[in-house]
Amino acid sequence: PLPQVPSLEKNFAMVITGVGGTGVVTLGALIGMAAHLEGKGCGIIDMAGLAQKGGAVISNLRLAPSPDDIQAIRVAAGGADLVLGCDMVVAASQKVLSCIQTGHTRLAVNSHETITADFTLNPDAELQGDQIKTVIKARAGEEYVEFINAGTLATQLMGDSIAANLFLLGFAWQKGLLPLSHDALTSAIKINGVNVAMNMAAFLWGRRAAYRQALVENLARPVPASPDPQPPADLDTLMARRMDDLKAYQNEALAARYKALVDKVRSAELAMGESGERLSRAVMMNYFKLLSYKDEYEVARLFSNGEFEAMIREAFTGDTRMTFQFAPPFIAHRDKSTHRLRKFRFGPWMMPVLRLLARLKILRGSLLDPFRYQPERKLERALIREYEQDMVSILEHLTPQNIQIAAEIAGLPASIRGFGPLKIQAAAKASEKRTEIFARFYGKSAST
């Protein structure tokens, strides 16, 4: 049913928040066009972050009964009548919170949790979505805020998260938060002329979610592939998969080397009467991670084994042209500011070269390996040797009292992520932690 649309008898101040490159500015333009079609006044100021794509975008938008009534556009402190939060993190920023008047400003916020820039600095960072919601509700008043996971629902219903903003617009309009007519908004979508069918559908689904949210969420929920939940894979199954991966990565010998250490740890754990397999699982996952480091040969194999090309054909239609961005260690120069190797662009002719390089994986780590003297490659081989020595030492001193600490040591490689300088820094941090955990491990051994 059509909602009761609020009348526009005086200036109506809106703040639209989001992330650059997701259509936030376009959303403001659509609202402005709808106001124009009704003969109303509209002024918009878009404030983007340092990054056009991926940076915070805050649009100040003011509607008025007529164009002559538009004076200042920027929304002052506590002056917002409506906040459309296309991104929850930006909606909770101080700039936006300052525009909210407790007990007056209405908010419709997309609760979809999007990865922030913090993850580039701290891979273990968490978004803390519940805390963000609490901050927003505390500022506006709980009854003045409507949360809807527009990102997930738009993706599940229309196959594209870009529809989330129009979904949120439809949601807010159906809630009676926007003083514009249905005809004006849908006409603006058509006039825009971009993805008209999808945007119209997104607007409609947003309205439906505002009216019957639980029903829409049930309709959007993907059908499980199997009615019966699959039990977690046992250790043998998981290890067999990793052995197959290591055979493809290098050869049978590497897979056998992997199995020998995991079996040795597993036998020691079982001999102690441990019912769980925490230590064995930690070794199974982390030893595999160390053995299968992603070097030049592996990158070449992953690009040229056919799976990548099949994925490209499935994702794109028509004529496609692939280009590769690589930083060959022998010709790339380091950027003076980032100290990282600069990448070069290579055309489709690179694919045969990658196929050849993938076949040369037999040279990996040998005296004939041209890449073995790079600092990162030296580090990766050293980490493998260190891990194997650590496991020998752990098994010599393993007791029921320190087995949980042993599992912590075995799981340390999980924190070594990234490539180049990032990986070297992560390895240094893991080494410091290793020293601290080993002190606790031997302390437990001595006290038993």
- Assigned token pair, 53: 């794509």
What is the arithmetic mean of pLDDT over 232-254?
Answer: 91
What is the arithmetic mean of pLDDT over 85-91?
Answer: 94
Pick the closest to residue 23 from 208, 180, 151, 181 (CA basis). Answer: 151
Give the separation between CA 82 and CA 57, rounded to whole angstroms. 16
What is the arithmetic mean of pLDDT over 160-167?
Answer: 92
pLDDT, position 230: 55
* CATH 3.40.920.10, applies to 12-220: yes
Pair 78, 66: CB distance under 8 Å: no
- Assigned token pair, 384: 């493998």
What are the E-state strand segments in 100-173?
Answer: 106-110, 145-148
pLDDT, position 121: 45
Q: What's phi and psi for 324, nearest 5 deg?
A: -115, 140
Give the three-class secondary structure for 14.
strand
259 CA to centre of own chain: 33
Bridge-based pairing of strands 56-64 and 12-19 is antiparallel
Which residue type, as a one-letter code, is found at position 235? L
Give the separation between CA 198 and CA 200, rounded to whole angstroms. 5
pLDDT at 353 over 80: yes
In terms of pLDDT, which residue wins out, 217 or 315?
Answer: 217
pLDDT at 186 over 90: yes
pLDDT at 11 over 90: yes
Q: Where are the domains of the chain?
A: 12-220, 237-294+373-446, 296-363
- Assigned token pair, 411: 């799981």
Which residue type, as a one-letter code, is found at position 382? A
pLDDT at 52 over 60: no
